[in-house]
Every structure is written in C-alpha cells, then in structure tokens.
Structure 1
C-alpha cells in the first residue's frame, strides 16, 4: 500500500509538471530545495524495496515455471509412474514431487537429479516421495470402491424392505377395513327384491355400543340398519326371518346387530264431492 501511494504521488507530480499548471505561491529557493530533498529521499527509500520485491517475484515465477517444466518432461514421461503433486519452494531451494506407481531405483533417481541444471535448477534439492506399487494402490482403490458399493446396496435394500413392510401394513389395514364394511348395495338389492311393494328402502351401517362389566369400557359392535316404508304392517315372524337372513348375508354373528325399522304409510282419504 505504501509503495502504491508513493508511486501515485510521483505520477501526479509528473503530470502537474507536464501540464505546466500555474503556481499559487512561489516558494523560496531554500524551501524548494528542502522539499525536493525530502521527496527524493522518500522516492529512493520506496524504490529500493520495490525493486527487491520485483526481482524476488520474477525469480519465484521463473523457478515455479522451470520446476513445472522439469516435472513434465522428466518425471511424467516415465511408464507406470504417476505424479500426484509437486511442491516447489523457492525460499528453501527445494522441489518435492509426490509419486505413486513403480518405485524408482537409486540409479534412476540420480539420473533424474543430474538433469536439474538443464532446466535452470542447478542449486535446487530434489525430494521424491514414492508411495509403493501402482498395482497395490489400484487394488486398494478397487477394494474401497467395492466396499462403498456394498454399503450402498445394503442401504438400498434396507430402505426397500422398510418400504415393503410399510406397504404391507397399509394393505392389511385396507383389507381389514374392507372386510369390516358391509355389502350395503347387495343387501339393498335383496331387500328391494323381497319387498317390491315397498315405497322406500334405506340400508345403512354403523356401530353400536354394548355395555360390559362395571369398570370396563363399552364394547363396539357393527350395526346394520334397514328402514322400510310399507303400505301394510310387517308381521313379527316375517320381521325375525328377515333379520336372520340379513345377519347371515352381512356376515354378522349376533342377530342384535341387525335392526329393522318398519313404518306404515296410510293412504290419504279422498274427499266426497258435494252435489
């Protein structure tokens, strides 16, 4: 930031001089000399570290480029050797390269180091980190992939089994509900066929409570309700016969689960006409 500020100030001063802007106040020669001396010292003190930093940056970039070129042309072309990463360190003067695959012999490592001066890396120390055989690494990779695949399959199977169990439970609940429902439409048609003269036939289902022992909750029983609107009354024997038949047809176990309500509709009397 300080270097940028000084160079911006110098550039501004140079532009003012080139544009020959009029002076607002004329300073004495002694004051001008003093100010120029201060500005020169500031510029000089700023340029020295900036030049050093620029040279250091150029050398670092040159070192990194040469190291990358060395790795590309010397190490990557070797068969059965894979370069995992490279770590050039300009400050320490070293180059570390991580390798996997076939291990390089001492003679091969020495031959590689002798080629360093060809890439401007004469004083650089080369460190080769080798990680065994490529086939062993591939076997480890294959084993890891197989374990992940088996674990994934186990997870999928567990999820599928859980889903199947959930669907089976839902199916059983639906079947139980379906079995508990009475065939109302079929019962209505049978009652209608037995009483074609009926003015109206209503068939419905529900539940009725059955009182239990003291302290116990009331039991629930299914209920089939048949309502008949007839012109003539229905006898007691015929009514009981109908209840027994409907109990069997509905699959009920207790005749009290069937209730029949009969209402007699009397015909309206016609009024006599007066002469």
Structure 2
C-alpha cells in the first residue's frame, strides 16, 4: 500500500452542498447566534479582567465568530457574491458588537489593571499569523469532512478570536491606544489568515463555483486577496523578528551576568535586563566595587555580542540613597541588605565563639598542667544537658595524665574547673 494514500481526503469528504449550507448557517448573527456572541463577549471580558485563562478559553469555545470569517474565505473561493456580502456584513456587525460591548464593560468595571491575559494579546507577531493560518486549514478541513471530531473547538481555542477583540475594547475604555492597536491587529491577523486558509483549502478540494469567473476576474480577485494577506503579514514579520532579537539579548545578558558579573565579597541583589533599550542594570550589596573592576567587566561585554549594551552597576546603600520613584523596590532592597547583615552578624558571632573557645581551652590546659604536671592533654567543650525535666548548660572534659590521679586530686580539679569556667556542672573523664 502506498503511504501517500493515507493523506488522501476523498473517502472522508462531506457533500459540498452540505458544507456550503453549514457555513451559510454559521455566517448570520440573529437570534441565538447573536445572544451567544454577546454572552461570549462578556465571558471573555470577565476572564481578561480577572486574569483567568480558564474563563477566556471558555469564551473562545462558545464564540460564533469563526462562522463569518470562514464564510468570507469560502465566498471568495467559490465566487459566491451573495455569501461574500452576507459574511462581510455579519463579520463587521459582530466585530462592532464585540468592540462596543467590551468597551462598555471595561469602562464600568472597577478593575482596570492590564494583567497577563490582556498583555498577551497586545503584541502580535509572525507566529500568530502561522497559528491563524494552520488553525484555518484545520477548521475548513474539519468542516469539509464527515469525521469532524473535536477539531472545531480546538481551532476556536488556538486562533483566539474573541480575546483580542475584547482586549481592543479594554484599550478603548482605558484610553490606551497602543493596547487597542495591538489587540485589533491580532484580531485582523486571525481574520485574514483564517479566511485565506479557507479559500486555499476550498480551491484545493475543488469546491464548485457558484458563478464561474473568467480568467481576468479570477486574476483580479487573486491579486486583491494576496495583497490583503501581504499587507497584514508584513508588520507581523517585523514584530516577530523583534521578539527573536529581544529573546537573544535576554539569553546573552543572562549568560554574561552568570559567568562574568561576580565580585568578591559582594552579592547580587537585583538584575534588570531591558532588551528594548539594550541596558543591563545590576545592583550589588557588600564591599565597594572598584572602578577598575567595573571597567574590566564592561570590556567583557563584547565576548557575548553585547558591545553596544549599556551596563550600569549600582552599589548597596548608595543606590538606596538615590531618589527613586519606586519605593517598593527600595524597601525590598533595604530588607535584603538588613537580612544579609543579620546573617553576617550571626556567622561572625559563631566564628568569634570558636576562636574564644580555642583560646580558653589552651589557657586552662596550661593552668591545670602547672598544678598537675602529669596531665598531658585536655579536652574541654560546652554543651547542653537535656532530659525529661530539665535543660541546662554544662561542660564536658577529658583529662589524660601519665600518672593515675587520686580521688582527692580529681575532686580538687573538678571544683577548680567549675570556678574557672563559671559553671555549676561539669562532667570529667579521667584517662591514664
């Protein structure tokens, strides 16, 4: 069996008349379809407002916006002017309803913050074009097949028509033109390339023309279609290239900081990498970093293709004393420095205790040796005695001597050590 036979669609194709009728029915926004559209707009707006991906996905699933867009593509593919006009009118009507409804919602909503679900729809690029195009291919293939499965809901989620339209409404309601333009451009990308995918697939599947166009008219329509696609595509290529550049800058900057930006007796409190302005800002706590060390660090930028990057080094409390518009960052930095200072103080105290204990043991050994010349070594260590009823500080000691000490000498030594160490309890093991 030829493996290419697995890719053939003839056996699963739906009757062309049924497919066209199905798309005709999905184009119109009246009654149920219109109310479902309005509800989907509110659901998407609420999901964007509370930053809930699950709610936004729900709005994508119930949104009927795919219908008129596929109608536009099919109308051009089969030269059905009636379907084309009907789809175009209903598309503009649905987009207008969505834009007005979402604008009104965000205008009265007490929550006006731009969360991640909103921000994700304001910067379209070439990858969104690819998603829309392949989503459109899957959508028209599923509509034209007897085995539709769960393709249509999946396409609705992938191409995401409703969220960018509602995000555009958010941009209008909050007077943020850049949000409106970015989101509406994403909506247009999805529209154009879903329709284009529908047109191409319908032509490849040989849908019958309603009115067979002459060669001149066919050429003119094709030119218009590809011109629209090209005009929509070009800005997304630029934005996609810009994203790739920013991602590369972030990656190189992180490698540079990890490998090179290490100073003795200093710790990195904060790192800011701004790909748009090509700037790296590093804030350190600890000892003062010399100008020569900073110059040396700057000279290493070229190794990571960051020669045109602006590197700023901010140091500890001098950074805190600068006038800052962001008090929250100052508080975080101050807290971090205080915490590090406490840790250093604790470690310093422990180190001092170790040295003091070492000096004390050495001095006590000399004093015992003067009283009892047969003593040749001494172990002395403070510890805590714990049992069911008490917990107290005690000392333990091991005394090794060349001659056996009598009971009187042992008692005197124990009492002397209590006074010398200022402790109520000491446990001594004698070796000879």
**What TM-score do the two structures reach when normalised by structure 1?**
0.47
User: Which one has the largest radius of gyration?
Assistant: 1
Q: Which structure is richer in relative contact order (CA contacts within 8 A, separation 6 or more)?
A: 2
Q: Which has the higher helix share?
A: 2
Greater fraction strand: 1
